[in-house]
């Protein structure tokens, strides 16, 4: 195990973009964790006497239409965006692993039924399905997390199924069956740990997608509701003043861009480091 970790790190650190992505993500996490310490103002405090002020020494990223400090709202909004991304992906990964593991290990009619269900789910446009469910349930942080999670597990299930179909025929699995080991133990202790490599890559990329989805839903008014700040609704509030107060759209847009790009770069780095077929290309 130690040798595998060293080998993984040796190949991962070759990608400077991936390492840079990790550093940026760590910084964003620290900002989100200590937003209350870093924020110079209360993100919900209004002061119309300083509304729509451009960036200055007093307000680093300017103020919005209600005189709220954009920098403080951006810091607190990072918590919402990251929380939605990670919780939604956690739900998605758990469902995907469960469905993929059962389908791949038992195969036969179980596999056929589960994969046809996956195919049906893939027929629906994800964004419009999420938009419809959120509209029915009502916009809230919890609803967004759950809806994104339960509508984005299909790709993970296919990856896990493919790995299980291969690993269930390996010698170590056959030996465990011959010894009378229960199916649950074989799945959890013998096959699943060896099938998680593509899941880690998928999870990293899905976090980026979930953050984008939350921003898109907030932009359309179905996401996190004001006055709670998120990068998406800060962007939405700024579109009315796009020509008069450019900072209301530029800064949250840049935050979303940098965060999503960082997660994508880390995902690419993980894929290259975990896949032996890609290691020799760098």
- Average of pLDDT values for 74-96? 90
Range of the domain at 227: 2-42+57-279
Q: 160-207 pLDDT, tens per residue?
A: 898 888 888 888 888 888 888 888 888 888 888 888 878 888 888 888
More confident residue, 229 or 281: 229
CATH number of residue 155's parent domain? 1.10.3720.10
Q: Is residue 30 part of a domain?
A: yes
Q: Is residue 133 part of a domain?
A: yes
Q: Is residue 51 part of a domain?
A: no
Nearest residue to 71 (alpha-carbon basis) of 254, 224, 211: 254
Q: What's the CA gap between 194 and 170, in Å, rounded?
A: 11
**How high is the pLDDT of residue 3?**
64
**How high is the pLDDT of residue 39?**
87
Nearest residue to 72 (alpha-carbon basis) of 103, 18, 31: 31
Q: 98-127 pLDDT, tens per residue?
A: 999 999 888 889 989 999 999 888 887 777
Give every CB contact of residue 65 below 8 A, 6+ residues apart in sequence.
Answer: 51, 52, 237, 240, 241, 245, 248
Q: Is residue 52 part of a domain?
A: no
Q: Does 27 have pLDDT greater than 90?
A: yes
Q: 210-239 pLDDT, tens per residue?
A: 888 888 887 777 777 777 888 888 888 888
Q: What is the mean pLDDT of the chain?
A: 84
Number of independent structural domains in the chain: 1
Q: What's the CA gap between 64 and 68, in Å, rounded?
A: 5
Q: Is residue 50 part of a domain?
A: no
Q: Is residue 158 part of a domain?
A: yes
Q: Does 279 have pLDDT greater than 70?
A: no
Residue 193 is inside which H or E element, if any? none
Q: What's the CA gap between 79 and 60, in Å, rounded?
A: 19
């Amino acid at each position: 195990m130690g040798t595998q970790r060293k080998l993984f790190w040796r190949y991962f650190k070759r990608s400077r973009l991936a390492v840079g992505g990790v550093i940026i993500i760590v910084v964003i996490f620290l900002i989100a964790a200590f937003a209350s310490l870093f924020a110079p103002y209360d993100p919900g405090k209004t002061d119309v006497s300083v509304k729509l002020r451009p960036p200055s020494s007093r307000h680093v990223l300017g103020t919005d239409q209600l005189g709220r400090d954009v920098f403080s709202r951006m810091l607190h909004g990072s918590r919402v965006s990251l929380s939605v991304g990670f919780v939604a992906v956690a739900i998605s990964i758990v469902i995907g692993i469960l469905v993929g593991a059962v389908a791949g290990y038992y195969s036969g009619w179980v596999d056929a039924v589960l994969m046809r269900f996956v195919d049906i789910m893939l027929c629906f446009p994800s964004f419009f399905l999420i938009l419809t469910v959120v509209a029915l349930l009502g916009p809230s942080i919890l609803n967004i997390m759950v809806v994104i999670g339960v509508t984005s597990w299909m790709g993970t299930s296919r990856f896990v199924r493919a790995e299980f179909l291969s690993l269930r025929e390996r010698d170590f699995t056959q030996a465990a069956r011959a010894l009378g080991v229960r199916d649950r133990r074989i799945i959890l202790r013998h096959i699943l740990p060896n099938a998680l490599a593509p899941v880690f890559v998928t999870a990293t990329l899905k976090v980026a997608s979930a953050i984008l989805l939350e921003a898109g839903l907030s932009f359309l008014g179905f996401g996190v509701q004001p006055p709670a700040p998120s990068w998406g609704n800060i962007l939405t509030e700024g579109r009315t003043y796009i020509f008069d107060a450019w900072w209301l759209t530029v800064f949250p847009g840049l935050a979303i861009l940098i965060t999503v790009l960082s997660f994508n770069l880390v995902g690419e780095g993980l894929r290259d480091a975990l896949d032996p077929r890609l290691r020799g290309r760098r």
